Amino acid sequence: MNDLKQKNVIITGASKGIGKNLAETFFKYKANIFLISRNENELKKIKSHLFKNKQKNQTIEYFLSDITEQKKISKIFNKIYKNYKSIDILINNAGITNDNILATMKNSQWYDVINTNLNGTYICCKAVSKYMIKQKSGKIINISSIIGQIGNKGQSNYAASKAGIVGLTKSLAKELASRNINVNVINPGYIKTQMTKNMHNKTNISYLNQIPLNRFGDTIDVSNLACFLASNKSNYITGQSINIDGGLVMQS
C-alpha cells in the first residue's frame, strides 16, 4: 500500500476498537492521520504510541468532537483542508448502540442511535464532499454492519441506522462519481472487540456456530479492507457494500 504514503486520512470514532486499529494501520502505511472522537484520554494514548514510530514529515492530529455537531465538524474539516491542502480519504467509523426491543424502546434510544450513526455519517460526508469535489479526487469509506442487512432482536434502531448508511453510500457514489470520488461501505460481522470479550461463553458459542469460518474477525481484517478501498488498487470500485463476516451473511 505504498500509494497511501502522505495521504491525508480522517477517521471518526478513532479512540478504540475498529477505529483505533484503522488509525494504527493507516499510520503504518505512512499516511497522515486525523482522528476524531469524544474520548480525549484514548486519543492522547494513540497519538503518544504512534508518535514514537513517526516517519519524517508524517502527521498525526486529533480533534475532540461529537460527529453530530455539524458546525464543529465543518470547522475541523476546513482546518485540515486549509493546513494540508487536501483531504484524500474519509472513514466514517463512529457509531453507538442502545439496545431494547421496539415495544419498550424509549424515543431517546431510537433518536440517539439514528442521530449518531446515520446523521453523523451524513454530516461528515457532506463536510468532506465540497473539498473532494474541488480537488476532483477522494475516497469515502463508511462503516456499516451486517445487522443493517439481517436485523437483530433488540436492535431495530441500530439496524435501521446501518441500513440507512448503505443507502446513503450508494446514492453518494452516484452523485460523486463524475468527480473521480469513490464511495463504498464495509459491513463488519462479529469482530473481536471489548464487546465480544464481554459476552458470556454460551453467547460466543452460539454466534460462532452461525459463522462458516467458525471464528470472530479481527479489527485488522476491517482495516486491511479499508486500506485497499482507500488505495489506487480500488479506483474502479464504487457504490459497493462489502461484507466482512466470515461468511455469516451469504447471498444466494
Write out the chain's pLDDT in tens, 252 residues. 789 999 999 999 999 999 999 999 999 999 999 999 999 999 999 999 998 888 889 999 999 999 999 999 999 999 999 999 999 999 999 999 999 999 999 999 999 999 999 999 999 999 999 999 999 999 999 999 999 999 999 999 999 999 999 999 999 999 999 999 999 999 999 998 765 665 556 566 777 888 999 999 999 999 999 999 999 999 999 999 999 999 999 853
Q: In this predicted structure, what is the pLDDT of residue 149?
A: 96
pLDDT score, position 34: 98
Q: Go through the domains of the chain in sequence order and give each one's CATH number.
A: 2-191+219-244 (3.40.50.720)
pLDDT of residue 199: 58
Sheet with 138-143, strands from edge to edge, namely 60-64, 32-37, 8-12, 89-92, 138-143, 181-188, 241-244
Q: By the 8 A CB rule, do 219 and 191 touch? A: yes
pLDDT tens digit sequence for 179-195? 999 999 999 999 987 65
The closest alpha carbon to 37, from 66, 59, 61, belongs to 66
Query: Cell digits for 94?
Result: 463512529
Identify the active-site residue in 81, 131, 158, 190: 158
Q: Note if 158 is an active site residue.
A: yes
Supply the pLDDT for residue 202.
59
Q: Residue 162's CB: how many other CB atoms inside 10 A?
A: 26
